[in-house]
Amino acid sequence: MNILIVGSGGREHALAWKLAQSPDAHRLFIAPGNGGTARHGTNVEVKDSDIPGLVALAKDKAIDLVVVGPELPLTLGLTDALTEAGIPCFGPDAYGAQLEGSKAFAKNMMRDTGVPTAEYAVFDDFEAACAYVREKGAPLVVKADGLAAGKGVVVAQTVDAAIAALDDMMVKAVFGPAGSTVVVEAALKGEEASFLVFSDGTDLAILPSAQDHKAVGEGDTGPNTGGMGAYSPAPILPDIAAPDMAETTVRPILRRLAELGHPFKGVLYAGLMFTDRGPFVLEFNVRFGDPECQPLLMRLESDLAEIMLACVNGVLADTLVRYAPEAALCVVMAAKGYPGSYPKGMEITGLAQAESEDGVKVFQAGTRAQGDKTLTTGGRVLGVTALALDLAQAKAKAYRAADAIRFENSFMRRDIGDKGIKRHAFVTRHK
């Protein structure tokens, strides 16, 4: 079959790499793609926000399955438009995509279905939001309601910081219309994990746990980014606990969407916080995380195209999803200045050397090919990913590979996976 992947990041390179392995994959197109996706298929210059252009492309290339990487085209209704054109699409319709596209929609859905989440309130009036902040006191979390490229969340340790965040979002509009409505919620303390499931609208199949590293600096310091690294599994959420977690956090949401006539077909991602009062859902994403996708697909032993078609056709079985018992870890190499402004056009060397060790794959994100050279185009440039017997070995292998790569003004966190390694060691000692 002909497959179209929508997106241009490291997640999309990982999807292209894995889908290209399917015996049923005939031709692979990526819109717009990057320097890495071009290795596995044909990049096409259509933006992920160009819904008519993507539909026209799918028709022109006789696409049998569209796989949507980022959230934006889903919230803009790409699945709806493709469905109307008779083209199967892996990803929820625009109504279901509100779980990510609107923080208020997601929180209200959690409240209505009994999914555990932090106490919250929704505001579109600045003064009312400030009054609520003063009444509740700090710490608080201030979230732009709409999409803000993973940067519209501020954990405010003081009332003044919370009000400053409200001013940025609602008055100064630093996130544009995404911040005209805000969610203010109680700050939860604990350790985070990413919990993803495949869904065909009725049934679900659970993916292994993962953990992302959002902060730009080591020790989880500095501003939030799109993600500086990830690993799987996350020892804080062992496989044995996953079925109960699904019943508590995602099954009620999937059931309600089906009742409303919007069965969710795709990947539903619950961002969890494990507190001393138990797990809470921080937010939902309606697609694979980036960079969680990279280690998860390194571990996936099943045919990804077969799983995605089963979701679209409503015939998903959990037996379709099989994972290797090994651990995988992804280290993001970024351009200096990210998540702020950063230079572009730097040549990347050492990619072949990095991938020379068995079990290592370098997923490209902010790159483009220029002749036989690979140049940087984005803030998050590469996701160096390794598969090994355990997290400690996966970490060592990933950093060995990353150290073989060079580009000017690059940086990376050196502590990806440390929390998982420490927790695994603690659990092992106390068995």
- Give residue 428's pLDDT: 67
Q: 382 - beta bridge partners?
A: 333, 364
Examine the pLDDT at 45 and tell me if it is beyond 70.
Answer: yes
152 vs 225: CA distance, rounded Å: 10
What pTM was estimated for this model as a whole?
0.96
Mean pLDDT of all residues in 358-386: 97
Please report which confidence band the pLDDT of residue 426 belongs to, taking 50, 70 and 90 as the band edges. Answer: low
Task: Count CA within 13 A, CB hemisphere, residue 62.
Answer: 5
Is residue 150 predicted with pLDDT exceeding 80?
A: no
pLDDT averaged over every residue in the chain: 96
Whole-angstrom distance, CA of residue 12 vs CA of residue 14: 5
For residue 384, the one-letter residue type is V
pLDDT at 330: 98
Compute the distance between CA of residue 224 and CA of residue 339 in angstroms, rounded to an integer. Answer: 8
Secondary structure class of 407 (helix, strand, coil) = coil
Which pLDDT band holds residue 231 (cuts at 50, 70, 90)? very high
Summarised one tens digit per residue, pLDDT across range 102-112 is 999 999 999 99
Average the pLDDT over 199-214 and give the result.
97
pLDDT digits (tens, 9 = 90+) for 280-292: 999 999 999 999 9
Q: Are 368 and 375 in contact (CB under 8 A)?
A: yes
User: Residue type for 137, please?
Assistant: G
Weakest mean pLDDT among 1-15, 67-81, 210-224: 210-224
Q: How sure is the predictor about 78, in pLDDT bands with cuts at 50, 70 and 90?
A: very high
Return the number of other C-beta atoms located less than 10 Å from residue 431's C-beta. Answer: 4
The CA-atom distances, in angstroms, between 287 and each of 92, 100, 159, 271 are 9, 9, 33, 12
Query: In one letter, which amino acid is 244?
Result: D
Would the CA dihedral through 164, 167, 172, 173 be positive or negative?
positive
Cβ-based neighbour number of residue 134 at 10 Å: 12
Q: What's the N-to-C CA distance of the chain in angstroms?
A: 48
The whole-angstrom separation of Cα 49 and Cα 237 is: 35
Helices and strands (H and E) in the chain: how many: 15, 24
- 4/9 Cα distance (integer angstroms): 15
Predicted confidence band of residue 213 (pLDDT cuts 50, 70, 90): very high
Q: Given this model, what pLDDT does residue 424 score?
A: 78
> Does residue 230 contact residue 212 with C-beta atoms inside 8 Å?
yes
Closest by alpha carbon to 72, among 164, 170, 178? 178
C-alpha 365/C-alpha 352 separation (Å) is 16
Q: Average pLDDT, stretch 42-57? A: 98
Task: Give the whole-angstrom CA distance, residue 312 versus residue 421.
Answer: 37
pLDDT of residue 430: 57
pLDDT band at 123 (very low <50, low <70, confident <90, very high): very high
Helix axes 251-259, 94-101, angle to 10 degrees: 140
Average pLDDT over residues 251-279: 98
Which pLDDT belongs to residue 431? 59
Judge whether 24 and 306 are in contact, CB under 8 Å. Answer: yes
DSSP at 214: -
- DSSP secondary structure string, 91-108? S--HHHHHHHH-HHHHHH
Q: How far, in Å, CA of 427 to CA of 416, rounded?
A: 19
Domains and CATH numbers, the chain: 2-93 (3.40.50.20), 125-180 (3.30.1490.20), 191-429 (3.30.470.20)
Report CA-CA distances (Å) from 102 to 1, 148, 194, 273, 406.
Answer: 34, 11, 19, 19, 39
pLDDT the model gives residue 151? 75
Rounded distance, CA 342 to CA 362, Å?
21
Phi, psi for 202 (deg, rounded to 5): -125, -55
Q: Percent of the chain, pLDDT > 70?
A: 98
Q: What band does 214 get if pLDDT is binned at 50, 70 and 90?
A: very high
3-state secondary structure of 187: coil
